[in-house]
Every structure is written in structure tokens, then in C-alpha cells.
Amino acid sequence: MRRVNSLSRCVVAFALAWISGAAGAADYPLIASPAPDFALRGFAGDNIRLSEHRGEVIVLSFWSASCVVCKAQLAALNRSYGTYHSAGLQVYGISIDDDQSRARDYAGAHALAFEMLADPGKSVGRLYQVDSLPMVVLIDRSGMIRNVYHDFGSRNEALYLQQLRALLNE
């Protein structure tokens, strides 16, 4: 009997841990809300206004040049951008670095096909309630926030790709 209770507790603990990890994005207060509009300057010089890209699926990646996980995430997003850009995907990497020259150097040193944007005052980071890095926000074609990822490990990357394909097919 003790063994069954112990096993039951382990199963329940594992299930709760898995659910809380998966539900982290569901707790994000802006899910199912219109994506806040913004205009930022790209490191390549172009100004980007989010609202001008309505009708496209948008991925916002909040990152920092000092974040090791962010670098892997940006590389993964670059692959998905290369695959799905022609289907209407737009990806923006938004640097919330304090040292924007370091972020500019990072953006210039890496062959990323999507726009890298500077948020020197972190105003867009505040609009999107960025509380950890990296953070990815998926926005549908109508401008609604559909998914958020705070941990872009292999489990979440597979989920991200599944949800991205679903949005592109809508």
C-alpha cells in the first residue's frame, strides 16, 4: 500500500511539474490580446512598425547579446524564417540590451536573415511584459498574441514549430 501511495505521489508530482511548465505561457497576461503596436529602428537602418505587417504571422524574439540561450534561439528562428518566410512569416529580433553597441555588433556578426531591432529604452520590452530572456511571442495574422515561450529548449521548439505551422495555415 505504501508503495502505491508513493508511486501515486510521484506521478502526481511529475504531472503537476509538466503542467506548470507547459502552462507558463498560458499565464502570460497578453495571450489572446491585440499585440501592442510599436515602431523601432533596425540595426540595418530600417524603421519597423508592427501594425504595418498585419496579415503576416509575426514572431517577436526578445534577446540580449549576453544571453547564451538567446543565441541558440535566434539561430533556430533564423531556420524557421528561411523555411516559412514565403508563407507569410515575419520574424523580428528585439534587443533589450543596455549596451546597444554590443547588440549591434552581435547582430552584424551573425548571418540572420530577419530584422534585428534596437529597443534602447526597453519601452517595447515593457509593453510586452518581458520578464525573462529569451522570450518569443507569436502573433497571428489578425494581430492577436497567440503564444509565448519563455524557455526555447528542444521541447518548446517542437511545440513552437507546430503552433507556427497552424498559424500559417489559418
Q: Where are the domains of the chain?
A: 2-169
In 3D, which of 114, 63, 122 has the Cα closest to residue 92?
114
Its pTM surpasses 0.75: yes
How far apart CA 39 and CA 106 sit, in angstroms, is 21
Whether the pLDDT of residue 64 is over 70: the answer is: yes
Residue 158: pLDDT band (50, 70, 90) is confident
In the block, cell 551573425 appears at 110
What pLDDT sits at residue 68? 86
Return the minimum-mean-pLDDT range out of 6-10, 44-48, 74-78, 86-90.
Answer: 6-10
Backbone phi and psi for residue 40, each to the nearest 5 degrees, phi listed first:
-135, 155
CATH topology of domain 2-169: Glutaredoxin (3.40.30)
Quick: pLDDT tens for 6-32: 434 433 333 333 333 343 455 788 999
Quick: pLDDT tens for 119-143: 999 999 999 999 889 999 999 999 9
Mean pLDDT of 141-148: 96
Cell reading at 60: 517577436
